[in-house]
Structure 1
Amino acid sequence: MTISPEVTSTPEAPEAPAGAAALPFATLGGDRKGSTEQVALALFITVPFVALLAAVPLAWGWGVSWLDLGLMVAMYYIGCHGITIGFHRYFTHGSFKAKRPLRIALAIMGSLAVEGPLVRWVADHRKHHKFSDAEGDPHSPWRFGETVPALMKGLWWAHIGWMFDEERTPQHKYAPDLIKDPALRAISRHFLSWTILSLAIPPLVGGLVTMSWWGAFTAFFWGSLVRVALLHHVTWSINSICHAVGKRPFKSRDRSGNVWWLAVLSCGESWHNLHHADPTSARHGVLRGQVDSSARLIRWFELAGWASDVRWPAKERLEARRQNPSSEAA
């Protein structure tokens, strides 16, 4: 059974300016994916994933250095927070205002996660919120129905399959505010350059520190390939797992749930139920014990004067969105 849309309050993307569709930069790549892009996408999914599968036996066989682990963790959390704080909470939902240097830094950090150009990422996510778990949602796991076979197919679609859909979200409709910013438009257009830089930093550092090609290779394996694969699958799990299972202490119009074991790796994004109950909130982990490193960093940005007008969750607003105690478990 396919879920039909519900009429409810949800963040709307700003309307496109008149004539936006005619602008040469409006969609930053067109409204349909070509075969070349789909092949490139398959490679960027497959190669890092193979490295992730090989990580355990290779670590057992010839070990992993502290340098490799340090590069992997550092690059992982730079990219992860670039996505969670930048692409998601700031650019998509406007959870706070950022001074220009922080705005540019967040756009670059998110691009280093290798999850697609900024404008396209934001457009996809705004469309997801407009139709969350209903007809029109780009990546709902409930797309094919509620039976077990349908859900298994839907989980695959929500996790990876949707990215190969030829039709793209119209960026001039869902992200005209970003398209109009020349700096953000340039960062989005140069996604390939940020990808190359992201993959090159670990082997460059590893090679220079160890003064060896082997050091460069192991740093590339752990700091580039394994790191990208892990971050990709954690991010995609928010689309798939967090919309299929998890606790739901807050009222939302969809099936978003909290999955605690993804919280640290997702930088707080897996407290997904509150996010869909209150999408513009700068903090997702609002209950006792819910770790949300992204919210902590936003707080530090605010204290430093880099961020302002932060939309912290108010107690009254949270209580108004509370489910009945019997509805908390998925």
Structure 2
Amino acid sequence: MTPGPDVLEKDSSSRTASPTAPAELATLGGEQRRSLEQVALLAFIVLPFLALLAAVPLAWGWGVSWLDLGLLVAMYYIGCHGITIGFHRYFTHGSFKAKRPLRIALAVMGSLAVEGPLVRWVADHRKHHKFSDAEGDPHSPWRYGETVPALMKGLWWAHVGWMFDEEQTSQQKYAPDLVRDPAIRAISRQFVLWTTVSLLLPPLIGGLATWSWQGALTAFFWGSLVRVALLHHVTWSINSICHAVGKRPFKSRDKSGNVWWLAVLSCGESWHNLHHADPTCARHGVLRGQLDSSARIIRWFEQLGWAYDVRWPKRDRIDSRRQERAAEAA
């Protein structure tokens, strides 16, 4: 099982992370973000976002075909579940064990979300949990203080700004298990390839289905650009919105909250308070009515024998966290 962040910290604290990894253990995106990478990042944020802004008037004026809508939804939820089940619950927190084919599939699915190389994503998130909403957290909205102007600035930082920080999380320190895995390291280094596949697959399908360049172009607009922008901002909202507002029924050491209206789009990630109260739990929406599609799919994987040793929520642990929170609020 992939160890959780606490285990990794114990493991990595006993050794000094090498400033430069051996060539055979190199991953894409080191510990310094270069200017060229920052320019590319800006393009991948701005261009899909402009498409997202244009989507409303275009849909209002000319509509959107069922093919384009189907490509948008399908590619969105493939990438979203790749992030939530794969990058987050499996690779980052070890919420379950997966057989090798599923492990590879989850790595590729998450890469199709165009949210950065796998190893870097996991390293950032493990560091986030170690320092959650405290100094050292890569993307806390409380970075600048608790006044309204400070929080507005912090929300921007947590949502987008932190990604342009030149200093990057040490992958050798926070994700040594993934760095040592040749297959996972290779998929992480192939991020540009998977990004290309993610962006070109919708127009390829759209062009072949309609046998026209126009079909390919509209599929690229909706299935690639709009889809990537929507998924990006939903994912980033977990870092920003879910650490600034929302209900907090469970005791956690940070300001993580539950934001119900993001639950379906985030595949269950916005039940964020329980996640920070019990990070290795495979289900985040543990209360009645809390939809969590990622947990449902993990259950299917378990029933098929592809996943095992799943860390499902335990009633005594949930009750304990609720009681601790109630005592804290009293």
Whether these two folds match at TM > 0.5 is: yes
For 2:17 and 2:184, locate their aligned partners in 1 and report how far apart those are by CA, in whole Å.
16
2:326 to 320, 324, 327: 324
Opposite residue 8 of structure 2, the aligned amino acid is: A
Tell me, in whole angstroms, the C-alpha distance in 1 between the residues paired with 2:270 and 2:124. 18
Equivalent pair of 1:133/1:143 in contact (CA under 8 Å):
yes
Secondary structure of the residue aligned to 2:312 is coil
Deviation at 1:289, TM superposition (A): 0.2
1:324 shift after superposition: 1.2
Deviations 1:173-213 (A, max 9, x none): 00000000000000000000000000001000000000000
Amino acid at match of 1:170: S
The answer as to 2:6 corresponding to 1:11 is yes
Residue matched to 1:5: none
Q: Identify the residue that residue 260 of structure 2 maps to in structure 1.
A: 260
In 2, Cα distance between equivalents of 1:84 and 1:214: 33
**Partner in structure 2 of residue 66 of structure 1:** 66
User: Displacement, 1:11?
Assistant: 2.7
1:143-162 equivalent positions in 2, closer than 5 A: 143-162=143-162
| Aligned partner letter, 1:112 | L
Q: Return the letter of the residue paired with 1:262.
A: L
Aligned to 1:279: 279
Secondary structure, counterpart of 1:13 in structure 2 = helix
User: Identical aligned pairs, as a percentage?
Assistant: 79
> Following TM superposition, by how much is the alpha carbon of 1:31 offset from its aligned partner in structure 2, in angstroms?
1.0
- The AA in structure 2 aligned to 1:118 is L
Contact 1:27 1:170 in 2 (8 A): no
Q: Is the 8 A contact 1:87 1:122 kept in 2?
A: yes
Q: How does 1:67-86 map to 2 (within 5 A)?
A: 67-86=67-86
Work out the CA distance in 1 between the residues paired with 2:48 and 2:126. 27
Where in structure 1 do 4 or more consecutive aligned residues deviate above 6 Å?
Answer: 17-20
Structure 1 CA distance for aligned equivalents of residues 232 and 7 of structure 2: 26
Gaps of 5+ in 2: none
Name the aligned partner's letter for residue 136 of structure 1.
G
* TM-aligned CA deviation for residue 325 of structure 1: 8.4
Query: How far apart are residue 60 of structure 1 and its match?
Result: 1.4
Kindly indicate whether the alpha-carbon contact (under 8 Å) linking 1:112 and 1:195 is maintained by their aligned counterparts in 2.
Answer: yes
Q: Does 1:23 align with 2:22?
A: yes
SS at match of 1:324: helix
**C-alpha RMSD over aligned residues:** 1.7
2:5 & 2:121 partners in 1: Cα distance?
18
Partner SS state of residue 11, structure 1: helix
> What letter corresponds to residue 139 of structure 2 in structure 1?
H
1:26 touches 1:171 (CA, 8 Å); kept in 2? Answer: no
Q: Which residue of 2 is the match for residue 4 of structure 1?
A: none
Q: Distance in 2 between matches of 1:223 and 1:185?
A: 28
Tell me, yes or no, if the aligned pair for 1:245 and 1:257 is still in contact at 8 Å.
Answer: yes
Corresponding residue number in structure 2 for 1:239: 239
May I ask how many residue pairs the two structures share in their alignment? 320
Higher helix share: 2
- Structure 1 residue 140, shift from structure 2 partner: 0.1
Tell me the residue number matched to 2:107.
107
1:121-170 residue CA offsets vs partner (Å, 9 max, x unmatched): 00000000000000000000000000000000000000000000000000
